[in-house]
Amino acid sequence: MSFRLSDEQRAIREAVREFGEEEIAPVAREHDEEKKYPEELIEKAAELDLLAPGIPVEYGGAGMDTLSSIIVTEELWRADAGIGSAIGSRGFGSNMIRKFGDEWMKEEWLPRIANGQSACCSCISEPGHGSNVAGIETTAETDGDEYVINGNKMWITNGTVADVAVVMAKTDPDAEPPHRGISAILVPTDTDGFKPTKIDNKLGIRASDLAEIVLDDVRVPTENVIGEEDKGFYQLMNFFASGRVSVASQAVGVAQAAVDQSIDYASEREQGGNLIKDYQAIGHKVADMATDVEAARSLTYRAASHVEEGDDRLATRFASMAKLFASEHAVDVADDAIQVHGGAGYVTDHPVERYYRDARITKIYEGTSEIQKNIISDDLF
């Protein structure tokens, strides 16, 4: 299946690439080493409609389709995965508000997310429940016209910088099977009892924000339920495919950066009186790397087309295939990039060691590679 980008999509790619090369790449190492959240780049990214680009125009967003949005993600990660993650995840969880939220939720929060004034976080994973979303233990009990939320959330992107959270909690703890009793609840992060703690000892994507969140008797009105009570798990399933396609595009972006850097280095580094690019071992390695990235990109774009078309089964299958293939090969490509650089690749003088660290997360979040294989095989059989 061939994917030809429209003139508009090519313009989006060029604009994001220019932003990445001029604004992100020069400060990438600094932000990685200092584990520094890129506040100064958020406003600039907002001016280019790069924050939650799928938010509809009527709420201040760019209204991009799925393929256009993942092109944005790919190019941000090509510039730097940590800063790219920080920018690209500003609207994490806002899709739930956009698709299932009441109009007052959309009007209050979507414009603020799109213009960079606010960030959103999605509180799903827990210390004992990562891939097993149905097993979450956070509860939301009704007390008059309020929910009282108690629990512990883990690995929450934007946890310490978000102004609003979409919290998945059990509103019917006795439901069988358990996923039938989960609801999505809108929680402003300045609510009493919402307690985030920054996680900053990460292997990679160090410029992005990550937190553990304790929910201690957090009270919000029952009108803050997003969509239908006890239907949160089913609502969440609407975004699994798009989330996995997004991670696939992240993997493509960082892998492309590894290829680019390897080509540059091999074209400058001399060994034995020759540029190392002239040695067949290096030439073949870079050829394999570039081929893997292009295959991952094509699969990712195909998955994006199925998500956009709304074909749930094909979207689910190809999103998992794209996420699996792109993430596994991103790590391999980044590893090969270090090999092309030799000893120089093992130190921070060159960015390939950072690419390797950054790529590794794509095999874990939004469902591990093992989970993706389960999904694919279940669908095939």
Catalytic residues: 366
The token duo for 375 is: 């999904």
Please name the amino acid found at residue 198. Answer: K
DSSP string of 242-309, one letter each residue: HHHHHHHHHHHHHHHHHHHHHHHHHTT-EETTEEGGGSHHHHHHHHHHHHHHHHHHHHHHHHHHHHHH
- Report the DSSP beta bridge partners of residue 148: 141, 219
CB-based contact 337:293 (threshold 8 Å):
no
The token duo for 342 is: 């030799």
The number of angstroms, rounded, from the C-alpha of 299 to the middle of its chain's C-alpha atoms is 17
CB-based contact 204:81 (threshold 8 Å):
yes
Long-range contacts of the stretch 234-240 (C-beta < 8 A, 24+): 234/179, 235/96, 235/99, 235/100, 235/184, 236/96, 236/124, 236/133, 236/168, 236/182, 236/184, 238/95, 238/99, 239/95, 239/96, 240/316, 240/319, 240/366, 240/367
For strands 120-123 and 164-170, give the pairing. parallel
How far the first Cα of the chain sits from its last, in Å, is 23
Angstrom distance (rounded) from CA 188 to CA 99: 19
* Angle subtended by helix axes 66-79 and 7-19, to nearest 10: 20
Angstrom distance (rounded) from CA 195 to CA 189: 8
The token duo for 82 is: 């940590």
- Tokens 């989960």, residue located: 182
